[in-house]
Each structure stands twice: as C-alpha cells, then as structure tokens.
Amino acid sequence: MMTLVLIASYLLAYPLSVAASWLLLIALHEGGHALAALLLMPGEVQVYLGSYHQPEASYHHQFGRLHVFIKRKIWQWRGGCCYANKAAAVSRWRYCVFVLAGPLVPLLVASLGFYLGMRYENGMHRIFLLLFLFFAIVSALKNLFPSHNTIPLANGQLLGSDGFLLRQALFLPALTRQAEQAAASLAAGNYAESAKLYLALLRKTTPTCDLLRRTIHALLQTEQYPKALLLSRRQHLFTAELTDDDRFTHGLILSRLGQHLAAIDAYTALIEQPQPYLNAYNNRGYTYNLLGNYTLALADFNQVIAREPDQAYAYNNRGLALLKLGQEAAGLADIQHGLALDPTNAYGYRNLGIYYLDRGEYPAALQHFEQAQQLDATTHELSTYMAKTHQHLAQGASTGGLLP
C-alpha cells in the first residue's frame, strides 16, 4: 500500500513540477532583465509575466521605477517580456548585459538550486530541481540562439529573441551602414540593390513598420510580389503604425498576384472608412475590369471622377469599361479626354491598344502598345497584350493575311 502511495505521489509531483518550473522560469527570466535594467539603465522598467504586453488583463504592482504586470488567469500564461525605457541611449555593453541577464539568471539559479538540493537526502524536491535545471538549460539555449522568428506583442510591436537582439546590438554600426546604403539605393532608384540590402537587413535586425515599408516598396518596383506579400502581412502586425497607404499597397500586391477577390476586400475596407481613400476606388475599379465586372468598375471610376475631375487614370480606365460594355463612342471619348489631361499616362495608350486588339486591328493595336511601353514599360499586363498582338500578326503573315 505504501509503495502505491509513493508511486502516486511521484506521478503527481511530475506534472506539478513541470508547471511550477515553467512559471518560475518565466518570472526569473523577466526578473533578470528587470534587475539588469534597474541597475544599468535610467527610466521606468516594465515587466509582463504571463503575457506579451497586456496590462488590461494583468494585476499591476509598482515598486519605485519597476512596474510589474502579472496576468490574472495563470492558466493562460504565454511567456513574458520586459521593457526598459531609454534603452537606446545607454552604451552597448549595458544593453548586452540587459539582454543576457534574462536567460542567464534562471540558469544560474537553477544550477545553484540543483547543487544545494542534491546535497540533501532523496526527496520529491529533486524531481523539481532536476526539471527546473533542464528547462533552464533548454530555455537559455533557445533564447540565446539568434532566431529570425519574432513574437507579435499586444501593442503591435514585434519582439525578437534575446540572441537576435544581442547580435543586433553587437553589430549595430555595420547594420546602421547597411541601412544607410539601402536607403541611398532606394532614393537613387536602384531598386534591385535596395531590395537586396533591405532583405539582408531584415534577417539581422528586429523588423520595424518603416523598415518593412521600405523593403516592400523596393520589392514592388522589382516585381518581387510573393516576397512583398509576405512582408506586407508581417507589417500588418504593427496595427498602430499602419497607414492607409500601407493597406492600399497590400491590396495592390494581392492584385498583382492574381488574388483579385482578396484585393477587392482590401480596397473595399479602405473605401468604407469614415474618410474614404480615393485611390482605392481607382484600384478596385481596375480590378473589376480585370474580372470582367465592367458595370461595377464603371461605378467606381464615376466616384473618382466626381471627386477629382482631372484624374486621367480614372478616365482612361472608365473608358475601357465603357468600351467593354459596348459604349464605343463614350469609351473612346473618355480615353481621349484622359490623354488630354495627361499625355504621359501609359494606361490611355494601353487601353486604346486593347480596343484595337479586340477589333482585330493588330497593327493599330501594336502601335498603341508600343507608345505605352515607351512611356512606362512596367504598365500592368502590357507585355501580355503585346505578345498576343505579335502572335496574331505572325499568324496573319503565315496565312497570307487571312485569319480564322
């Protein structure tokens, strides 16, 4: 009977020891960061136990400069984090000590506890001490490894691992130079080089909303849409810093990848705001054109023209919608008016090319496509339309000018 009781006690002690070890590890890890911050850094120090910055769901206790937030529902604990104000103003060695203290303090405490505990006779305390030492070692190795994975905080920021932050601090001058080079390349229009530098920088530093924004811009200019979409989704974690331009760019990327329905959802969200984002009407109308929903496209371009009567882009693309709906005179008039407003708008010539392509007038179509290409070779789907036109012309030449 005593043997069964002893076995049951040990079986119960194991899960309790795991839970206790995990909770204590979180407290010591964030406490290590906080202790180093209080000793080496000025300003307020905030520690979150059980959450990634959720003050509204936590008990708040203040001890001088130290603010401790303990999540109320202990069964919902999900790690923790520590903030030290004015951390950027301190020397690098102080910041490195602040970062290292997190994983090293629980490791030191666990090692000392295991050493002292093993000096006493056998008991259930040994299970806890052994498990705690194991978790402390694993946690230290995991946190000190410079992983690129980040944790989204409740306040919209992204948190890197301790190892990632440590590497970032140690190589700060080199990272700063690389950021300056990437910005200079972007300003000079050297988008391929800028995208390469920014992507390398993202692998070495904690992403910010602005860094992601710049990288996405460079990727868009080089038509690297899948990479741009991945970064745009990461950027949407910065809820507080996200702008309408960022949301609009996200819709544009989706459209460029052929995810038109998702793009329409993104544009619609911008339109249905208290202050509608005007260009979202333009792009949603353009997307409706791509999907063949010309009546809906027409309605969106009407909205743009009603608000900005000098919008050449809207006239050019409303003209295409009218042409597709069979309203030839009105459609051509719109495109001609758009080109009168802005003779350099490549979409006017591209849409005239589509009109002649649909009519089977391939030389005229090619002429207009080539004009669009001279103005802007990156005009959407222009290369596709030109390839179709060349194909028809080649077929016509091989059949003596007669096409089926």
More confident call, 129 vs 252: 252
> Could you tell me which residues are beta bridge partners of residue 133?
none
| pLDDT for 12 | 52
- Mean pLDDT across the chain: 87
Mean per-residue pLDDT, 106-110: 90
| pLDDT for 400 | 47
Contacts by 383-386, CB closer than 8 A, 24 or more apart:
385/350, 385/353, 385/354, 385/357
What's the rounded Cα separation, in Å, for the pair 104 and 144?
9
pLDDT digits (tens, 9 = 90+) for 375-392: 998 898 999 999 999 999
Q: At 348, list the tokens.
A: 């006017």
More confident call, 88 vs 105: 105
| pLDDT for 122 | 62
Please, what's the b/e burial string for 204-239 (b: 16 or more CB within 10 A of its CB; e: otherwise)? ebbbebebbbbbbbbbbbeebbebbbebbebbbbbe
Residues 206, 211, 215, CA angle at the centre, nearest 5°?
120
| pLDDT for 87 | 47
β-bridge pairing 158-160 and 150-152: antiparallel
Residue type present at position 361: E
**What backbone phi and psi angles, to 5 degrees, belong to 89?**
-85, -10
Mean per-residue pLDDT, 280-290: 95
> Hunting for tokens 């608000």 — which residue is that?
307
| pLDDT for 139 | 87
Q: Which of 144-153, 177-186, 308-317 has the highest mean pLDDT?
A: 308-317
Round the CA-based radius of gyration of the chain to a whole number and report it: 31
Query: What count of Cα atoms within 13 Å lies in the side-chain half-sphere of residue 237?
Result: 16
Ranking 166-170, 185-189, 197-201, 378-382 by mean pLDDT, the lowest is: 166-170
DSSP 119-176: TSPS-THHHHHHHHHHHHHHHHHHHHS----EEE-TTS-EEE-HHHHHHHHHTHHHHH
Q: Quick one: pLDDT band at residue 318, thresholds 50, 70, 90?
A: very high
Mean per-residue pLDDT, 227-255: 93
> Hunting for tokens 């008990």 — which residue is that?
59
- Which secondary-structure segment (H or E) carries 80? strand 80-84
Taking 90 as the threshold, does the pLDDT of residue 293 lie above it? yes
Q: Quick one: pLDDT band at residue 55, thresholds 50, 70, 90?
A: confident
| pLDDT for 221 | 92
Taking 50 as the threshold, does the pLDDT of residue 118 lie above it? yes
What's the rounded Cα separation, in Å, for the pair 329 and 324?
12
> Could you tell me which residues are beta bridge partners of residue 60?
69
DSSP state of 151: E
Taking 50 as the threshold, does the pLDDT of residue 197 lie above it? yes
pTM for the full predicted model: 0.68
Q: Quick one: pLDDT band at residue 78, thresholds 50, 70, 90?
A: confident
Mean per-residue pLDDT, 227-253: 93
